[in-house]
Amino acid sequence: MGLASVLLGLISDLWNSTIGGLWDSTDVFRTQYFDFGLMRDEFDPVLDGFWSTVQLSVISGALSLAWGLVLAVLRQLPGRALAPVRGLTIAYIDVFRGIPLLMILLLVSGGLGAFAFEGVIPEAIGIPRFFGKPDPFWYGVFAITLTYGAYMAEVYRAGIEAVPRGQMEAARSLGMSHGQAMRFVIVPQAVRSVIPPLLNDFIALMKDTSLVSFLGFVEVTQAGRDVQSEFFNSSALTLGAIMFLIVTIPLARLVDRMIAREQARTQRGGATTVPTPAPRTAAGGAT
């Protein structure tokens, strides 16, 4: 017993002087960010906020995918007569890639509300409350779609331009119009090759939904901030961050796997790789 007591004493002293002391010194940090009792008590409102984030992300993402494809196709229209359409499309993409999303959110929410108040547009559009969702939710959908549609248009364009020109020529030689060739030959190949970068954009889109909290919409970030302001503790925000990671990390690994599979297929078949669109800056513009 005497030897055991001595050994336990030595182990205890070693723990307290090393890891134990370091652990105890982080008590304030752990209480501020990892108060599991507070996380448990406030789990439901944070989860409700995250569910709102998921809904906003899915609706905005689907609309952005569709709008981005429309913009990419318009940018590829041939002929001198359609040059104005191409020019307007390029201008739209450049503008919305160069303005921060937060500014677009404020412009959309303030503009639509004012237009509805002045009777310029119907109230149902200026102050939308479709499917029981509040108007800040739909302002967020509109702004995110406008912005990320421009980003995704560039991803689609990279995929379209990576398709060999012989594909279009072969389709036209079979009697297809330009539109039919794009619809049945070019676009399907382009979309299949750009799924990984589109998923990357969706991850960025999901994170940017937190900006909608500036309009008063209670998504996961705002729910965490409400708890933080009430208890002066950031654990609810940490809980929200963990919820984000549960979704975004598997998506990121899926993107990695798809890229690796595409690279392996390209190396085996000697296919043309899809050029990567220009990266965005922290302010939301193109570099």
User: Each residue of 162-198: pLDDT tens digit?
Assistant: 888 888 888 888 888 888 888 888 888 888 888 888 9
| Residue 108 included in any domain | yes
Query: How many separate domains does the chain show?
Result: 1
CA 94 to chain centre: 19
Asked if residue 12 belongs to a domain, the reply is no
Which pLDDT belongs to residue 6? 62
The sign one gets for the Cα dihedral 189, 207, 216, 53 is: positive
In a domain, 145, yes or no: yes
In a domain, 163, yes or no: yes
CA dihedral 76, 81, 83, 88 (to 10 degrees): -100
- Of 3-7, 56-60, 117-121, 257-261, highest mean pLDDT: 56-60
At CA 261, angle to CA 63 and CA 165, rounded to 5?
70
Residue 247 lies in a domain: yes
Single pTM value for the model: 0.82
Helix (H, G, I), strand (E, B) or coil at 174: coil
Q: Is a pLDDT exceeding 50 seen at residue 24?
A: yes
Q: What is the pLDDT of residue 95?
A: 96
- Selection from 147, 185, 131 nearest residue 163 by Cα: 185
Q: Which domain holds residue 219?
A: 34-269
pLDDT at 283 over 90: no
Triad 73, 151, 253: Cα angle to 5°: 115
User: What's the CATH code of the domain at 69?
Assistant: 1.10.3720.10
Please tell me the distance from the alpha carbon of residue 97 to that of residue 201, in angstroms, as a whole number.
13
Domain presence at residue 140:
yes
